Amino acid sequence: MTKAPKISVIIPLYNAEKFISACLESLLAQTFQDFEVIVVDDCSTDSSLAVVESYASKFNGRLTLSSMEKNSGTGVAGRNKGLLISRGEYVFNMDNDDLLTLTGLEELYTLAENFDADVVYCEKYYTANDNLSEVFIHSEQHGGSFVDKPTLESENLARRVQKILQHDFWVTPWSKLVRRDLLIENEIFFPSVKIADDDIWTYEIIFRAKKILRVPNVVYIWRQSEDSLFHRNRTPQSEINFWSDPLIRGLKNFDDFMGETEFFQRNPQYRLAVLDHLVHGRCFAQLSKIGAEISPLEFYETIRDDFAKNLGDYNVPVAYLCTLVTEQRKNLKLKDEQIQLLINRIENQ
């Protein structure tokens, strides 16, 4: 077996014939070459697979192409399978329509080595339109200030909870270079949910990693494709199904993870705060918008059906969930005040 590479780049693939070539070209052009590429095809129906196969010789044995037996509908299964196949010291996740700057992997790996970091977290990235004619530096990080030099996060988990509550971590997988052993030894995989899988994955990393290095480097180019799962047009009922999925299937896994963590066992208030942040920050905010567009009865019936498919006929929580969604807009100000009180407590410790 050949020597293990320094980095494994994992790319889930589905119907990306328009963009996957540019993605792979950006990897071929890297100034740092000690990496492997793992592409996991999710049963593409276009020529994506053929495009990737045409690049095999260009990577000189460093490109592995794997396929799912059936379409999963998200990139989650592909990322998880790619991690199990990977051999690198570090793992970097890419989307199949995005690109890296020429020195991207070199910058990330050098930083990881210099600081012996478990995670290198990039606060900013480039956004681009489909044809890359418009490119801007951007960030979804809302809390605190940006670093101007590599900065290690506090290992105090209460402080990290504070950062999460302040939206001071952007949850996309491609904003982080992660030590593979950290993921494997702690069994940190993406949960099988339609949305918010990256939130749960990121939070588990934040609470398991010892050294998280926050950096100002801008190395990733996120193409804003209208074909992406997030941008697809759906009916109100499909939107409800999409945004309720992590509530039904994802939260239990994450709560179980926190229940096994000593810090959260000793500090249940932080456990509740993180769960509340995850639910209201993504799921309820979107569900409340949809709830305003259809009748309460339609909303109730759709939520009830979703719960029944996954949890059986126990529908008692459904009416309560519908009430919570209805009250979401009214309670936003109160929730913000409660979160700020918790943050103030952490700062004063």
Kindly report, residue by residue over 73-108, the tens digit of the pLDDT.
888 999 999 999 999 999 999 999 999 999 999 999
What does the pLDDT read at residue 316? 47
**What one-letter code names the amino acid at 147?**
V
- Residues 137, 218: Cα–Cα separation, whole Å: 8
Dihedral pair phi/psi, residue 105, rounded to 5°: -65, -35
Asked if residue 282 has pLDDT above 90, the reply is no
* Token pair of 198 as six digits: 């990256």
Nearest-CA neighbor of 89 among 113, 114, 121? 113
Asked if residue 222 has pLDDT above 90, the reply is yes
Q: What is the DSSP letter of 38?
A: E
For tokens 């494709």, what's the residue?
Answer: 225
Which neighbouring-strand residues pair with 136?
A: 127
Which neighbouring-strand residues pair with 220?
A: 100
Contact partners, residue 11, CB within 8 Å, separation at least 6? 20, 23, 37, 38, 39, 40, 78, 82, 93, 94, 95, 96
Neighbouring CB atoms inside 10 A of 163's CB total 20
**What one-letter code names the amino acid at 140?**
E
Arithmetic mean of pLDDT, 46-62: 97
Nearest-CA neighbor of 94 among 176, 35, 10? 10
- Residues 307, 338: Cα–Cα separation, whole Å: 29
pTM of the model: 0.85
Asked if residue 295 has pLDDT above 70, the reply is yes
- Please give the mean pLDDT across all residues of the chain: 85
For tokens 């998880």, what's the residue?
Answer: 80
Cα angle value 227/233/238 (rounded, 5°): 125
- Residues 126, 139: Cα–Cα separation, whole Å: 8
**What one-letter code names the amino acid at 289?**
K
* Token pair of 323 as six digits: 């009430």
For tokens 């988990």, what's the residue?
Answer: 157
What does the pLDDT read at residue 346? 65
pLDDT band at 322 (very low <50, low <70, confident <90, very high): low
Domains in the chain, ordered, with CATH? 7-223 (3.90.550.10), 236-344 (no CATH)
**What one-letter code names the amino acid at 104?**
G
Instruction: Count the helix, strand and coil residues of the chain and give each as a percent rounded to the nearest 5.
Output: 50, 15, 35
